[in-house]
Amino acid sequence: MEFKIDRDPFLKSISKAYSITDKGSNMPILSTVLISTKGDSIDVFATDLEISSQENIPAEVLSEGSTAIPCKKLLEIIRESSGDKFYIKEEENQRIFISDGNTEFKLASLPAEEFIITSEPENLKFSTIEASELRDMIKKTIYNLSTVEDMGYKFSGIFVQKKEKGQDVFLRFVSTDGSRLSLIDKKVQGIEEMELGEGIFVPKKGMIEINKIAQEGGPVSIGLGNKDFIVKKENRTLIIRLLDVKFPNYEGAIPKDEDIKFSIKIQKDRFIDALRRMLIFTTDAYKSVILLIKNDKIELMSSNIEVGEARESIDIEYEKGQLEEDMKIAFNPRFFIDAVQPMESDFITLSFIDKDKACIIRGNEDPFYLSIIMPMRI
């Protein structure tokens, strides 16, 4: 294996690969990046056995071959280099010679045969979604996700399914941590043809990597094969192993519109700013903020005997129903901030059934998105 390559595309590709490699595994091969030369380009592979990535980038190939190089060390060499082009050659004894024209390096490598490549299934049907739409769906659901150590697998991913509404079919993302839930639907070209069954469960790390692809803009192709979710954009492919766990029956947790007693409209940024001020007086042991709704005001109150207290009032408008008597209800303010911050709406709607039931958050400029937050005990 021998090739020359420009620094910038090489650095970007190895950086993407490094985010996927398994840094804590007792299998050294999972911390490597496989580089394979062919024609006038190289293929860059990375995997942690749960997520696999392949990217093809242009290069001047002098001889073909493949080798697995420690990804972290390779990334550090490229990042710290002062040159704008690299010459890389596989030598004897599994050594990789690297030169940027000024500095020469020799890295130990592993045989390419040890690297575990996950192949893309054949004859897949793909749907196309704009990166901006995909990014919007992820940012409005990913904040709910826990780590596996925190809550277990059933709360460690985003549930993806097709949802029919009249004549239209939507792609739906749902996430929950047991105390809150977020849901968003989007129209996606070709989603009718994708076989999602009752839904699939994409792990958090996979969604983070998909979001990185979406940040580049343009159309993104998504497909499903066996137990893998496949995402493609231009010269890069992600293959993400799905979580083999049943997602909770979330639809029963969504209040029906006819059960809502009243809804209030509030200015989004004003609400977020007030919540942040309330956060000053919360602690790990005491995380709640009391919302007192009365007449045309909502009063936020945070009190902690060890820290102090804060109180702030915000004007509201009623969109549905009318409050018959003052209502006091407590929530985790961080949950509200997480749910509201990604929204595009200048004004948001908070809907209530009673003080013991969840709050439903919507916005006119955030169609097909809702978030539900359960109250805390006062």
Q: 165 versus 90: which is more confidently predicted?
A: 90
Spatial distance between the Cα atoms of 203 and 156, rounded to a whole number of angstroms: 6
Within-domain flag for 378: no
Same domain, 134 and 216: yes
Residues facing 54 on adjacent strands: 45, 237
What b/e readout covers 102-134, taking b as 16+ CB neighbours within 10 angstroms? eeebebebbebeebeebeeeeebebbebbbebb
Write down which residue in 251, 278, 306 finishes a domain: 251
Q: Do 291 and 323 lie in a common domain?
A: yes
pLDDT > 50? residue 140: yes
Q: Which segment of 89-98, 139-148, 191-200, 328-337 scores lowest on mean pLDDT?
A: 139-148
Looking at the structure, tell me whether residues 275 and 332 fall in a common domain. Answer: yes
Domain span including residue 87 = 2-114
Confidence check: pLDDT of 153 > 80: no
Mean pLDDT over 329-349 rounds to 96
Which of 114, 146, 181 is the last residue in one of the domains?
A: 114
The overall pTM is greater than 0.75: yes
Residues 268 and 365 in one domain: yes
Across 21-30, average pLDDT: 90
Is the domain of 67 the same as that of 169? no
Q: Which residue has the higher pLDDT, 165 or 66?
A: 66
Task: State the pLDDT confidence band at 303, using cuts at 50, 70 and 90.
Answer: confident
Query: Is-contact 109 69, C-beta < 8 A?
Result: yes
Average pLDDT over every residue of 285-295: 88
**Same domain? 221 vs 108:** no
Among the listed residues 206, 345, 374, the one whose alpha carbon sits nearest the alpha carbon of residue 269: 345
- DSSP for residue 246: P
Q: Are residues 196 and 228 part of one domain?
A: yes
**Range with the poorest average pLDDT among 9-18, 90-99, 250-259:** 250-259
Report if residue 77 sits inside a domain: yes
- pLDDT per residue over 42-86, tens digit each? 999 999 999 999 999 999 999 999 999 999 999 999 999 989 999
Higher pLDDT, 186 or 146: 186
By three-state DSSP, how is residue 48 classified? coil
Q: What is the mean pLDDT of residues 265-274?
A: 97
pLDDT value, residue 152: 55
Q: Is residue 109 part of a domain?
A: yes
Predicted confidence at residue 159, as pLDDT, reads: 95
User: Do 96 and 142 sit in the same domain of this protein?
Assistant: no
Q: How confident is the model at residue 146 (pLDDT cuts 50, 70, 90)?
A: low
Rg of the chain over Cα atoms, rounded to whole angstroms, equals 25
Same domain, 285 and 345: yes
Nearest-angstrom CA–CA distance, 181 and 371: 6
Residue 119 included in any domain: no
Count how many residues are written for the chain.
378
Longest CA–CA span in the chain (Å) reads 83
How many Cβ atoms are within 10 Å of 268's Cβ, its own excluded?
A: 18
Q: What is the pLDDT of residues 171-220, one digit of tens each?
A: 999 999 989 999 999 998 888 888 888 899 999 999 999 999 999 999 99
In a domain, 121, yes or no: no
Q: Give me the number of domains the chain comprises.
A: 3
- State which of 251, 271, 290 marks the end of a domain: 251
Q: Is residue 221 domain-shared with residue 235, that is, in the same domain?
A: yes
- Is residue 360 one of the residues assigned to a domain? yes
Higher pLDDT, 124 or 338: 338
Domain-embedded: residue 120: no
Domain CATH for 308: 3.10.150.10
The answer to the question of residue 58 being in a domain is yes
Are both 213 and 303 inside the same structural domain?
no
**pLDDT tier at 149, thresholds 50, 70, 90:** very low
Q: Quick one: 310 and 329 in the same domain?
A: yes
